[in-house]
Structure 1
Amino acid sequence: MKGDTFQIFISMIIYMAVVLGIGLYFAKRANESSENYFLGGRSLGPLVTAMSAEASDMSGWLLMGLPGVAYWYGLSDAVWTAIGLAAGTYLNWLFVAKRLHSYSVIAGDSITLPDFFSNRFKEKNKVIMTISAIFILVFFTVYASSCFVTVGKLFNTLFGFKYQHMMIAGAAFVLFYTYIGGFLAETASDTMQAFVMIFALLTILIVGTSVAGGVLAVVENAKSIPGFFEFFGIASPTVVDGSQQIINGVPQFGEAGEYGLYTILSTLAWGLGYFGMPQVLLRFMAIRDAGELTQSRRIATVWVIISLGAAVALGIIGRSLFPTELLTYSESESIFIVLSSKLLPSALAGFVMAGILAATISSSDSYLLIAASAFSKNIYQHLIKKDATDKQVMNVSRIILVLISIIGIVIALDENSVIFTIVSFAWAGFGATFGPITIFSLFWKRTTREGAIAGMLSGGIMVFIWKLVLKPMGGIFGVYELLPAFIVSCIFIYAVSKMTDEPSLKIQEEFELAKEKSSEK
């Protein structure tokens, strides 16, 4: 390992040691009870709530997936995705946060999302809880695999280590400190990592723009590529045998593709996913005081806008500085690594690229913990062993953590996996399964248990049908699967709720109480 590379390696190892220290620090408190382990005892402050929510949400996708899209296809696809996500972030914090926090306390002091849905509709046979837990297990396993792919690509690109070995090592590291520290370790480290991520993005943005000759030079280069710097067009790299063609040192592009209104609406639909993201919704439930959510919303929105904007810009800058460096879509997701390693001093590059680790760790720990809690609390304790002690629940949770990690590793074994593609599928799954029912549960008193079940099943199943069966047909079916699945779920919730008996008086009274409580703060 060369001297510069060794310095980068040491910087990243030091960073990982700090994260591990956080897990060990919170281990004792986390093990006091399952509420502490899974929800931190509802003790989060506004800064930690905001920063941990956004860091856990963005993952390595922010530093690798999104810049990769901008590097490969240009501005439109990346920027419309970013706009949709920024709008979704703000609206979720504005409308859902306070109501969910109040309602989760009133509805049996729920500490997981399946808990809340089940308690909201006063279930006896726990059908909603089981369906919720199963979908969380499925989609978070896929989500965790995308994080493992990120780690593998990072260390493979930087140090030449075998992708599979590094991917497994990264998964083992995340598993270990989530295993011992639980939700408190996760949120504390996520907060620190949110700062690392935005520092990394802004550092490379400033340095990259300067080296490229300034903003005007970057824009001029982008405009020279057909469709690359357009809101309503998209670049079309000329690919031969899987790689972009290079002639006389110049990457080749075909004619610009169209990026019409239908495609824009499809891309903006990414924002709908926020209403069903368990890792974000859980933070709303965990804050110590709902009155502090306004401050959290402002922090989260500013962080998201800056981070997404910088990530998109890095892809454009990367195409200007290193136009022939990355010749496949999968490789393009390494543009942040290339920029960092080639533009910064080694020690600083190591710290900046720790931002990728930060993004990856902050998401994968959330995914693993929520998926484990979905099984241990909602299936094991409520269905398999109803008299399970707190200690037994936590032990089962840790077993599930290991199993989910193993499955995620198997999914991530292919080093040609595209992070953006994996994340987009899991994002659609959560958005369509939980987004509509979250909104209807919080804001429509007439929502029934039967409507909730129909909405969750139809939304989750439609994601698979649209992605695997309809989308390959192209044309009008080429839309991102989240949009049609979200709409189908809403239709089923409304129609089935109207066709079934009104909720009981107790459910309606709790709804009004939650509404009143959330408006007071």
Structure 2
Amino acid sequence: MIDVQALITFIIYFIFLMFVGYYFYKNTTTVEDYLLGGRGMGSWVTALSAQASDMSGWLLMGLPGAVYAGGTKESWIAIGLFIGTVLNWQFVAPRLRVYTGKLNSMTLASFFEDRFKDPTGLIRILGAIITLIFFTIYASSGLVAAGKLFKAMFSIDYSLAVLIGGFVIILYTFLGGFLAVCWTDLFQGLLMFFAITVVPMLAYDSVGGFAGVKEAMLARDISTNIIPEVSMPLIAIISTMAWGLGYFGQPHILARFMSIDSIKKIPKSMTIAIVWVFISLGGAIVVGLISIPMFASIPDPEWVFIEMIRNIFNPWVGGILLAAILSAIMSTIDSQLLVSSSTLTEDFYDKIINRDASEKELMHVGRICVLLISIVALFLAMDPDSTVLGLVSYAWGGFGAAFGPIVLFALFSRKTSWKSVLTGMLVGTIVLVVWKQIGLGATMYEIVPGFIANVLTITIMNLFYPAQNEEIFAEFDDVVYKTKHKLTK
């Protein structure tokens, strides 16, 4: 049976998103506007856009579902993500903004090429290929979440649900580019925050509080111990906390750092982002725990937040809160589509196919790329047995292992060479994929061996092939000085 009130709420929400997309379509005139918002984003937009695009549907579906099924030990994922968020804002954001502005780099792959003065173009090409592969997987996870949401709410066919959600996201991203994505993310981030704080507070007393949760966990034989009950608990904790390593290599989050109006706005953005993340992750864990006594069984653990809202609120209020789940999904997919489009436009078309392309031509190419990537992601999302958390973890790990160490070496190592970076990126990615494919991911999250392999490879290669380009040294020293000077002024 279709929930008419919720459907009306969603239609109004869709119309709002279309309006935002059309508004910025009329106000986007250059390729830098389309891909990075003209590097003029404010503190609130940067902070909430970064975190809303980061957390995605897994915050309101994947993480609560994991806690519902596995108990408190799944909280280590949230702890790792919180630590990673803080470190990323504190150390990566300021220097990345200055460095990419100095080199006029609009994508992560082009920044790597410009930073290390790669004469072959292989770093950019390999980085772009990795970006497209893992972002297509990542975007498909969001479409899976959209499909599950619509199926649970309106009892419609899963494939049709995926297509409906995909159409709305693709349309406003296609039209408005980075500005539309960031401003819708601001609204979506606020809505997500409201939902993840209000719902568990109102549901807490209905299940008998902490005592009710503990009793239900013991009845279902779910451990209340935060330490995993496995043969190697330390390995399990490291594996789940390792999600935090992924932050250093996520192109859709790093793009927000590159787009902020001024480095001086980063401290304020960081404060907003950290508070948002801390409360949101805590709320998601509480939702998962409260759902244990609330639902003896459920068709899909990732539906727990949806069902909690429907049980507590009337259809009109519930529709608004359920739109928050859609917001979480959309705020990540739109960013992934745009960064993938940026990669194809900036790293392939502009630098390989047509170096003399006009601004207008590049914007057209960017919009076409959004459509192409979306089609592939929609195809991958058609499997109804896919899990949001499973797809996200693979893509997140892929970016963390391939790009995370390189971002850190680029920003903090003066003598890292392009040969070291190219080799490290390749080795880190191969180790991650092989580790996953042979089934070792069940023992240790694949980002850990991939990240370590990348770091060790770059470190060893630097001993034999250190950077010797004086231009690189001068740029690095200038960025270090400007970052410190502008933050302390």
TM-score (norm 1): 0.91
Partner of 2:423: 454
Q: C-alpha displacement at 1:394, in angstroms?
A: 1.7
CA distance in 1, matches of 2:367, 2:436: 32
Retained in 2: the 8 A contact 1:381–1:387? yes
Of residues 493-502 and 150-159 in structure 1, the stretch that sits farther from structure 2 once superposed is 493-502
Partner of 2:354: 385
Identity of aligned residues (%): 40
Q: Does 1:208 find its partner at 2:206? A: no
CA distance in 2, matches of 1:392, 1:167: 31
CA distance in 1, matches of 2:439, 2:5: 49
Paired residue secondary structure (1:85): helix
CA distance in 2, matches of 1:412, 1:451: 36
Name structure 1 gaps, 5 residues minimum: 235-256
Q: C-alpha displacement at 1:259, in angstroms?
A: 6.4
Q: Does 1:467 find its partner at 2:436? A: yes
Q: C-alpha displacement at 1:227, in angstroms?
A: 4.1
Q: C-alpha displacement at 1:433, in angstroms?
A: 0.8
Partner of 2:39: 42
Of 90, 99, 104, the residue aligned with 2:95 is 99
Partner of 1:516: 481
In the TM superposition, 1:57-206 aligns within 5 A as 57-77=54-74, 79-107=75-103, 109-206=104-201
Of 238, 242, 257, the residue aligned with 1:269 is 242
Retained in 2: the 8 A contact 1:446–1:502? yes
Partner of 1:397: 366
CA distance in 1, matches of 2:474, 2:277: 36
One-letter amino acid of the counterpart of residue 451, structure 1: S
Q: C-alpha displacement at 1:470, in angstroms?
A: 4.8
Of 312, 321, 326, the residue aligned with 2:285 is 312
One-letter amino acid of the counterpart of residue 487, structure 1: I
Q: C-alpha displacement at 1:501, in angstroms?
A: 4.2
Of residues 440-449 and 111-120 in structure 1, the stretch that sits farther from structure 2 once superposed is 111-120
CA distance in 2, matches of 1:495, 1:441: 16
Q: C-alpha displacement at 1:268, in angstroms?
A: 0.7
Of 262, 266, 269, the residue aligned with 1:296 is 269
Name structure 2 gaps, 5 residues minimum: none
Retained in 1: the 8 A contact 2:416–2:466? no
CA distance in 1, matches of 2:70, 2:126: 38
Of 251, 257, 263, the residue aligned with 1:278 is 251
CA distance in 1, matches of 2:218, 2:475: 57
One-letter amino acid of the counterpart of residue 51, structure 1: L
Q: Does 1:356 find its partner at 2:331? A: no
Partner of 1:482: 447
Paired residue secondary structure (2:118): coil
Partner of 1:341: 310
CA distance in 2, matches of 1:325, 1:493: 47
Deviation per residue, 1:429-477 (Å, 9 max, x gap): 00011100000010000110001101111112221111002517x6xxx
CA distance in 2, matches of 1:259, 1:21: 52
Retained in 2: the 8 A contact 1:26–1:185? yes
Partner of 1:52: 49
Partner of 1:503: 468
One-letter amino acid of the counterpart of residue 290, structure 2: I
Retained in 2: the 8 A contact 1:76–1:259? no
Paired residue secondary structure (1:388): coil
Q: C-alpha displacement at 1:43, in angstroms?
A: 0.7
Retained in 1: the 8 A contact 2:239–2:448? yes
Q: C-alpha displacement at 1:369, in angstroms?
A: 0.5
Paired residue secondary structure (1:334): helix
Partner of 1:369: 338
Of residues 391-400 and 187-196 in structure 1, the stretch that sits farther from structure 2 once superposed is 391-400
CA distance in 1, matches of 2:45, 2:297: 41
Partner of 1:251: none
Retained in 1: the 8 A contact 2:418–2:467? no
Deviation per residue, 1:42-76 (Å, 9 max, x gap): 11111111100000011101100000100111110
Retained in 2: the 8 A contact 1:435–1:486? yes
Deviation per residue, 1:315-358 (Å, 9 max, x gap): 111111111233xxxx1001111101111111011000001110
